[in-house]
Amino acid sequence: MTRKVTKAIFPVAGLGTRFLPATKSIPKEIMTLVDRPLIQYAIDEARAAGIEEFIFVTSRGKGALEDYFDHAHELESSLKKSGKTELLDILRSTNMDSGAIAYVRQHKALGLGHAVWCARRLVGDEPFAVILTDDVIMGEPPCLQQMIEAYQETGGSMVATMEVPADKTKAYGVLDVAEDMGAIVRAQGMVEKPKENPPSNLAVIGRYILAPTVLNNLNKLKQGSGGEIQLTDAIADEIAEGRDVFGLRFRGQRFDCGSKAGFLQATVAFGLARDDLKGEFADYLSDVLAMRKAAE
């Protein structure tokens, strides 16, 4: 019987330099996709998967991110007096219970593996999830929920994976597949950003369910690709030590909101998925495309 996953780590210590100058004053994680910040999409996905404890690995300058989850008592009071109940419900849905969120600092930018390692004392000896807020996934059920359901059958550790063109594999951690069972694959190795001869075209994206032994591997603090401590290497050590690691081909569409183009693509996709926006927004996009075609 697999142990229930109730804790999730959110590595949010990055500087967000690709979005300067916006990130000069606000954390990238609270930049809004339509009308919700990136971190809210991640939190909502974690809640849907049964996560109860939320661990943020932060850095200096992330105060606005921490404040976002506080109760806005004056704003709630104003909305209540004005009878704006729908907005009040939306606002209250973003509130987090006292003690549900914990914060730890990553004082040096030493990579994703190091960020996860910083949360080791809060995780303890339990399986845990890791969610990267840059990867926004539109799926039903949400991606992490799909992974939890699969993990309950497989145990071990699990990563979300998707097929990418062979020439794009050098930008990802890539699975070396031992057994392909359809939606689930069993890994016999993982390679971080292979420069050539990738073992497959199955790329690891920012959702993980990890056994606590991964933290023991991170204790070694080995520097890997790019001089950083790679989470991929610690997961690969699980395989080398005879423990199971699986990949899940999730159902849904992933957007890389760590890039400007990906953020814009996600804005279009989520805007068109909204009943209150899709009509007007679709008409506008059609007009833009028509004008562009006429100009060619």
Reported as a single tens digit per residue, the pLDDT across 168-180 is 888 888 998 898 8
What's the whole-number mean pLDDT along residues 96-124?
87
Residue 227 predicted with pLDDT over 70:
no
Residue 223 predicted with pLDDT over 80:
no
Provide the mean pLDDT of the chain.
Answer: 89
Other C-beta atoms lying within 10 Å of the C-beta of residue 21: 6
Residue 224 predicted with pLDDT over 70:
no
Going by DSSP bridges, is the β-strand pair 7-11/53-58 parallel, antiparallel, or unpaired? parallel
What's the whole-number mean pLDDT along residues 80-101?
82
- Angle at 97 (CA atoms; ends 10, 210), nearest 5 degrees: 30
Q: How confident is the model at residue 22 (pLDDT cuts 50, 70, 90)?
A: confident
Exposed, middle or buried: residue 123 (CB in 10 Å: 0-12, 13-18, 19+)?
buried
Residue 225 predicted with pLDDT over 70:
no
- Angle at 102 (CA atoms; ends 226, 76), nearest 5 degrees: 120
Q: Which of 69-73, 148-152, 158-162, 248-252 has the lowest mean pLDDT?
A: 69-73
pLDDT for the residue 259: 92
Q: Locate 156 and state its tokens.
A: 């071990």
Torsion 192-196-198-203 (CA) sign: positive
pLDDT for the residue 222: 61
The share of the chain scoring above pLDDT 70, in percent, equals 97
CATH for 7-258, options being 3.90.1150.10, 3.20.20.450, 3.90.550.10, 3.30.70.100? 3.90.550.10
Between residues 97 and 41, which one has the greater pLDDT?
41
Largest CA distance in the chain: 63
pLDDT for the residue 145: 96
Q: Locate 184 and state its tokens.
A: 């689930």
Going by DSSP bridges, is the β-strand pair 184-192/173-180 parallel, antiparallel, or unpaired? antiparallel
Q: How confident is the model at residue 131 (pLDDT cuts 50, 70, 90)?
A: very high
**Helix-helix angle 260-272:278-295, to 10 degrees:** 130
DSSP string covering 217-269, please? HHTT----GGGS--HHHHHHHHHHTT--EEEEE-SSEEEETTSHHHHHHHHHH
Q: How confident is the model at residue 221 (pLDDT cuts 50, 70, 90)?
A: low
Residue 288 predicted with pLDDT over 80:
yes
Other C-beta atoms lying within 10 Å of the C-beta of residue 52: 13
Residue 14 predicted with pLDDT over 70:
yes
Other C-beta atoms lying within 10 Å of the C-beta of residue 33: 18
How far is residue 130's CA from residue 128's CA, in Å, rounded to a whole number? 7
Residue 237 predicted with pLDDT over 60:
yes
Q: Which of 44-48, 79-83, 95-99, 144-148 has the lowest mean pLDDT?
A: 95-99
Q: How confident is the model at residue 72 (pLDDT cuts 50, 70, 90)?
A: confident
Please name the helix (run of DSSP H) or strand (run of DSSP E) that holds residue 51, with its range, or none: none
pLDDT for the residue 141: 94
Between residues 155 and 228, which one has the greater pLDDT?
155
**CA nearest to 46, candidates 191, 177, 145, 149:** 145
Domain range list for the chain: 7-258, 259-296
How far is residue 5's CA from residue 53's CA, in Å, rounded to a whole number? 10
